[in-house]
Chain A
Amino acid sequence: MSPIRLDPWRALRLALLLLGAAVCLAPYLWMLSAAMKPSSEIFSAGLTLWPERWAAAENFSRAFERVPLARMLLNGAIVCALILVIQVVIALPCAYAMAKLRFGAAGPLMAVVILGLLVPIHATALPIYIALDALGLLDGYTALVAPFALSVFAIFMFRQFFRGLPDDLLAAARLDGMSELGVLLRVVVPNAWPAITAFSIFSVVAHWNDLFWPLIVVTSPEMATPPLGLLFFRAAEAGDDYGALMAATTVVTLPLVVAFLLAQKRFIEGITMTGLKG
């Protein structure tokens, strides 16, 4: 195996990898380019990415005028934060009880968790929608958050993680007179941050990107999350104002992409860890 014989292979390999990278990146390049171009340039055929005249300011201001884009981003942040906090607060004690305490319900609970892992929101959406409708809670934060208050995935993941914690550590804390809640808050949770971080990333990515559920329960643009906001934006668009549309697209894509670029390792861990267990 001389290095000379390897060279054509390596060249081919690099060429393939670069081609794949180009395909992955192309949409982002064209998105940014169109967000910067005036519509005359977008509609004049040609593959030039660099705008002749910069129209970024116009495009972005039109995007923010047409729909309450800032409000939608805020909604997305509020909904994701609420969902995450509630999911973690509900799942941690349950997972701890299942992993470290002997009580009769642990077995049946595990069966429900597994069942829950198999059943996506799409399958339970109709009854939950009908219940929220009967309670008059549609088109608000409650409707956006409530169905996701329980994450069986969080319970599953935290339970796996807690089983790895040494029993001696917990026994020592109990001997110090701590209640089980005290053990959970002061011993288990401080040790569980890696699992909580990974789950947080998974949860935020999933709910920031979700279209299905907001589409069902939200009707007013003021309550829309970013994906639904984009749909409203497209509906409000009479002609094809691609410049403003791509500006809006850039705005809603940016937060997660920047977060991903800043914390790639954790992102990849968070998203795939969950995939591996799902």
Chain B
Amino acid sequence: MSESLASPSSTLSRRLSAPARRQARSEALSGWILASPAMALMAMLILAPMLAVVWFSLTDYQLGYPGAIFIGLENYRALLDDPLFLTSLGNTLLYTAIVAPLSVALGLGAALLIESETRGRAFFRTVYFLPVASLLVAMATVWQYLMHPQIGMINQMLALVGLEGRNWLGSSDTVLWSLAAIGVWQSVGFNMVLFLAGLTAIPRELYAAARIDGAASAWQRFRLVTWPLLGPTTLFVLVISVINAVKVFETVKTLTEGGPNKASEVLLYTIYQEGFSYLQVGYASAMTVVFLAILMVAMLIQYLVINRRTHYQ
């Protein structure tokens, strides 16, 4: 408090200061007490395990064998020469490169169509969202039945139009694409809802203004108004889709176990096998660190792009 201020206020503050300080102290104490259970769990469930993973990745720790030794970056060097890991990494990236853009594009398409159609809006939204609310392991099982080479609906429909069916999940040429199709089917509804929320935030007047300015076609209005204003939503949905695609596991574990011929081996499945089936904790931890690094890069890109965007505005 500066000297120039009137004396009454300073005496007031001096008179209040003792109880106020006591109150501040009791407020801080309440804060610590109320937050302490969560803080203990943060230490146990986030911080300690993360440090442990990084530490394990620098050792040759195998579960059940005592005496792990520090081996520095040896696990990471081994990853670079491990054909299984490289296949797995490649498959994960390919899967992500298929699923993320498709589920974003189809989610946006569905949202635009539903938004511009006055009839059956609630019906379409419900139907498109249904796969998001369903048990993925169960629906993957159903897809396996639909993709069955002999009795599956897909091959039978192809036969109706004279096309030859394939062994969708059983052949190494098609398995990753088939899993990607299931992944897209499952995530479009989620993206659609996010886009619908983004679309309702666009002021109606902008469309009217664009029309007056000569944007006659729906496409022109989309390009001039919707797409730029939907930019942040699109980026966000894309990043979420990438992260979810990198985390693909359920369908692979349920339907293919990484096969045939490792054609559907993906990162989380490899980590799961290495860590929990072969108990190579050190090696699996190194893979986990790589997996985490990929997720972090995805989020970092989002953060950087958003930051640049706000600078321009």
- A contact set with B: CB distance below 8 Å: 9-10, 13-14, 16-17, 20-21, 23-28, 30-31, 34, 42-43, 45-47, 90-91, 93-94, 96-98, 101-106, 109, 112, 115-116, 118-120, 122-130, 133, 147, 149-150, 152, 155, 179-181, 184, 205, 208-209, 211-212, 215-216, 226-227, 230-231, 234, 242, 245-246, 249, 252-253, 256-257, 259-261, 264, 267-268, 271-272, 275-276, 278
Contact A129 B276 (CB under 8 A): yes
Task: Give chain A residues whose Cβ lies under 8 Å from the Cβ of B163.
Answer: none
With A97-B31, A119-B50 in contact, do A27 and B42 touch (Cβ < 8 Å)? no
Task: Give chain A residues whose Cβ lies under 8 Å from the Cβ of B275.
Answer: 125-126, 129
Q: How far is the CA of A125 from the CA of B117 in the complex (A)?
A: 45
Among residues 97 to 144 in chain B, which have CB atoms less than 8 Å away from a CB atom of chain A?
106, 109-110, 113-114, 116-117, 119-120, 122-139, 141-143
Q: How far is the CA of A75 from the CA of B53 in the complex (A)?
A: 30
Task: Give chain B residues whose Cβ lies under 8 Å from the Cβ of A209.
Answer: 135-137
- B contact set with A: CB distance below 8 Å: 24, 27-32, 34-35, 37-39, 41-42, 45-50, 52-53, 56, 63, 106, 109-110, 113-114, 116-117, 119-120, 122-139, 141-143, 145-146, 150-151, 153, 156-157, 160, 185, 188-190, 193-194, 197, 218, 236, 240, 247, 249-250, 253-254, 268, 271-272, 275-276, 281, 284-285, 288, 291-292, 295-296, 299
Task: Give chain B residues whose Cβ lies under 8 Å from the Cβ of A181.
Answer: 30, 34
Closest CB in chain B relative to A85 CB, distance in Å: 13
Task: Give chain B residues whose Cβ lies under 8 Å from the Cβ of A150.
Answer: 38, 41-42, 45-46
Contact A253 B31 (CB under 8 A): no
Contact B30 A180 (CB under 8 A): yes
**Total A-B pairs in contact (CB under 8 Å)?**
271
Task: Give chain A residues whose Cβ lies under 8 Å from the Cβ of B110.
Answer: 17, 20
Task: Give chain A residues whose Cβ lies under 8 Å from the Cβ of B127.
Answer: 21, 24-25
